[in-house]
Amino acid sequence: MSAVQELRVRGSHFQVGLAIGRRFASEIRDGLKGYPLLKKMLAYHRCPEGQARTQEFLELNQARYPGYIAELEGMAQGANQPFEDLFLTNLRAEYRGYLPAAGQGCFDCAVVTEDAALLGHNEDGSPAFRDNLYVIHAQVDDKPAFTALSYPGFLCGNAFGFNAAGICFSCDSVQPRQTRVGIGRHLLARSLLESTSLEDAIARVTVPGRASGFSYSIGSIHEPRIVHVEVAPQTHHVQEVEGYYLHTNHYRMLDIAQVAGASSRARLERATQLVQRVPLRDARGVLSLLGDWENEQYPIYGTATAADKSATLCTGLFDLDAHHLRIYTSRPGQPAAEFLQFPLP
């Protein structure tokens, strides 16, 4: 992965989106062009059923989160791209019930002991995004300032980030079999960046009327605490992290119908075996786990194998005691690992 670009911006929701769109116009254009799921979504969107479904989503999410829709409108204008392309891209999970399942990835490793409070995350996705990710430092009017790793064309919050109120988080994709028209998961994830406490963060991702599912590791830097929240359209589960907790891309605590791929289960099994051999005690141990690629088919540190098309695009490590976030742009745990470092509040 090449050096991660950064942008500092402030203003209204629309102004923030406009600045992101202008600065990363080429990345957004190339990202949308190379995103195969969007082509399928647009084809469905243009049929009468798809038009009606998209309009329902837009009206509902506009009413609930007008600011986030304004961010997408600004981003679309700044990048000179159709608003519908960005809106549909941010509803990718909600369309999986109507379209063939897409690849998914990411891996979370949280540790909370008397000696450490750590949240590690592998950001996995299509290799096409490898050199297009960027970090946004934003101050939206009257909201906590935040820093978030972002994908081109997506609302901030889809990967991992933190805010000035001391809330940090990362997200894993999960796939409940039943989805519905409702609040999009990417808008819920965006709202995490406005959280004022751990309890507020949990409330934000579990609001009624959710359309699909997501999995969140959420930390409170000042306590320090970490919880893992599994979310489905009509139910959720909150797990307080004590010791360590691992999560890939299937529901562990919720007993619901889901799509759970071989990669997700294999990576969780491999990580569990590693932790049983060498307990997680510090940042070095977490990075070693996140950088493991011994399983040739389904490595924890994704390498876009024939069996698992996802690759690890970067690795994030929140150290709640040392008060910093490190983003590794090369395989972590190695002597030559490259990283960016940002202070936590």
pLDDT at 98: 60
Q: φ and ψ at 273, to 5 degrees?
A: -60, -45
**How many CA atoms lie less than 13 Å away from 65 in the CB half-sphere?**
27
What percentage of the chain carries pLDDT values higher than 90? 79
Note the pLDDT tens digit of each residue in 159-177.
999 999 999 999 999 999 9
Encode burial over 181-195: b for 16+ CB neighbours within 10 A, e otherwise.
bbbbbbbbbbbbbbb
Would you identify the CATH topology of the domain 107-343? Penicillin V Acylase; Chain A (3.60.60)
For residue 216, pLDDT over 70 is answered with yes
- Average pLDDT rounded to a whole number, residues 200-229: 97
Taking only the tens place, the pLDDT of each residue in 194-203 is 999 999 999 9
Burial class (CB in 10 A: 0-12, 13-18, 19+), 18: buried
Model pLDDT, residue 134? 97
At 27-54, the pLDDT tens digits run 999 888 877 777 778 888 888 888 898 9
Boundaries of CATH 3.60.60.10 in the chain? 107-343
User: What is the pTM (predicted TM-score) of this model?
Assistant: 0.95
